[in-house]
Chains A and B, each alone.
Chain A
Amino acid sequence: MNRSTLALALAGSLATALAGAAFAAPLSPEKMAGNEKCYGVALKGQNDCAAGAGTTCAGTSTMDYQGNAWKAVPKGTCVTMKGGMHMGSLTPIKS
Chain B
Amino acid sequence: MDFATGQHAFAQALLHADAPLPLGLTGAGGAVDAARFAVYRNNVHVGLTRALAQRFGVTERLVGAEFFAGMARAYAQDHKPSSPLIIDYGDDFPDFIAGFEPAQTLPYLPDVARLEAAWTRAYHAADAAPLAFSRLAAFTPEALATLTLKPHPSATLLRSPYPAGAIWAAHQGTELADIEAWQPETVLVVRPEMAVNVHVLPASDGLFAALLFAGGTLGAAAEAALTEEPTFDFGAALVGLLTLSAFAGIHQGDVP
Q: Are B67 and A71 in contact (CB under 8 A)?
A: yes
Q: Are A6 and B223 in contact (CB under 8 A)?
A: yes
Nearest-CB residue, chain A, relative to B235: A17
Q: Are A65 and B144 in contact (CB under 8 A)?
A: no
Contacts known (A17-B235, A40-B200, A90-B179); A65 close to B62, Cβ less than 8 A: no
How many B residues are at the interface, by size bracket? 35 or more
Q: Are B239 and A7 in contact (CB under 8 A)?
A: no
Using Cβ atoms and an 8 Å threshold, which residues of chain B touch A57?
Answer: 47, 50-51
Nearest-CB residue, chain A, relative to B124: A54
Q: Is the interface of B mostly helix, strand, loop or mixed?
A: helix
Q: Are A90 and B106 in contact (CB under 8 A)?
A: no
- Say yes or no for B8: interface residue by CB 8 A criterion: no
Using Cβ atoms and an 8 Å threshold, which residues of chain A touch B182?
Answer: 79, 81, 85-88
Q: Are B218 and A10 in contact (CB under 8 A)?
A: yes
19 contacts between A and B (CB under 8 A): A7-B142, A10-B218, A10-B219, A12-B235, A13-B236, A14-B144, A26-B132, A29-B245, A38-B240, A51-B123, A53-B54, A54-B86, A57-B50, A63-B42, A64-B49, A65-B42, A68-B70, A76-B63, A79-B108
Contact flags A65-90 to B (C-beta < 8 A → 1, else 0): 11110111111110101100111111
List the 7 closest pairs (A to B, CB-CB), nearest first.
Answer: A17-B235, A39-B240, A13-B235, A11-B141, A70-B70, A75-B64, A26-B132
